[in-house]
Amino acid sequence: MSQADDPPVTNEALENLRDKIDAIDRKLVDLINERANCVVEVGNLKRGSNVPIYAPHREAAVLRKIQSFNSGPIHDRTLEAVYRELMSGSFALEQPLRIGYLGPVGTFSHLAATKQFGSSVAFEDLRQIEGVFEEVTRGHVNYGLVPIENSTGGGINETLDAFLTYHDQLNIYGEVQLAIHFSLLSNGKPDNIKRIYSKAEAFAQCRNWLSTQFPNAERIPAESTAAAAQKAKEEYDADPESGSAAIGSSLAGEVYGLHSLFDAIEDRQRNITRFLILSKEETEVSGNDKTSVMFTTDHRPGSLVDVLSVFKRNSINLTHIEKRPSREVNWDYTFFVDIEGHRKDERIAEIIGEARAHCKNFQVLGSFPACQRIL
Q: Do residue 265 and residue 292 come from a single domain?
A: no
Considering the domain architecture, whether residues 229 and 308 belong to the same structural domain is answered as no
- Provide the CATH number for the domain around residue 264: 3.40.190.10
261 and 288 co-located in one domain: no
Residue 100 falls inside a structural domain? no
Note whether residue 158 is domain-resident: no
Q: Strand 171-179 and strand 195-198: pairing?
A: unpaired
Q: Please tell me the pTM assigned to this model.
A: 0.84
Residue at 11 is within a domain: no
State the amino acid at position 321 in one-letter form.
I
Please give the Cα distance from 130 to 159 (Å, whole number). 7
| 324 & 366 share domain | yes
Report the CATH number that the domain containing residue 90 is assigned in CATH.
1.20.59.10
Rounded to an integer, what distance in angstroms lies between the CA atom of residue 330 and that of residue 333? 8
Which residues are bridge partners to 144 per DSSP? 100, 278
How many whole angstroms separate alpha carbon 324 and alpha carbon 346?
30
Q: What is the pLDDT of residues 210-232, one digit of tens each?
A: 999 999 999 999 999 999 999 99
Residue 5 pLDDT = 58
| 261 and 335 co-located in one domain | no
Which of 46, 76, 94 is the last residue in one of the domains? 94
Distances (CA, A) of 118 to 55, 87, 121, 177, 375: 15, 8, 7, 15, 12
| DSSP strand pairing (318-325 vs 272-279) | unpaired
Looking at the fold, whether 48 and 75 belong to one and the same domain comes out as yes
The pLDDT value given to residue 241: 93
On whether both 246 and 315 belong to a single domain, the answer is no
Cα 232 to Cα 154, 203, 206, 235, distances in angstroms: 28, 15, 18, 5
Report, as ranges of residue numbers, the positions in the chain whose pLDDT lies below 50: 1
Asked whether residue 266 falls in the same domain as residue 293, the answer is no
Residue 86 is predicted with a pLDDT of 85
Q: Are 221 and 303 in contact (CB under 8 A)?
A: no
Domain boundary among 94, 115, 136: 94
What is the number of structural domains in the chain? 3
Per-residue model confidence (pLDDT) at position 1 = 46
Give per-residue pLDDT as tens, 228-283.
Answer: 999 999 999 999 999 999 999 999 999 999 999 999 999 988 889 999 999 999 99
d(CA 110, CA 99): 10
Whether 320 and 365 share a structural domain: yes
DSSP helix, strand, coil percent of the chain (3-state; round to 5): 45, 25, 30
Instruction: Note whether residue 109 is domain-resident.
Output: no
pLDDT of residue 6: 58
Q: Output the domain CATH number for residue 316.
A: 3.30.70.260
Same domain, 245 and 323: no
Range of the domain at 294: 282-375
Q: Are residues 243 and 194 in the same domain?
A: yes
Domain boundary pick from 61, 77, 94 = 94
Query: Would you give the DSSP letter of residue 370?
Result: P
- For residue 350, is it within any domain? yes
Q: Are residues 35 and 85 in the same domain?
A: yes
The answer to whether position 169 is within a domain reads no
Is position 147 within any domain?
A: no
Is 192 within the bounds of a domain?
yes
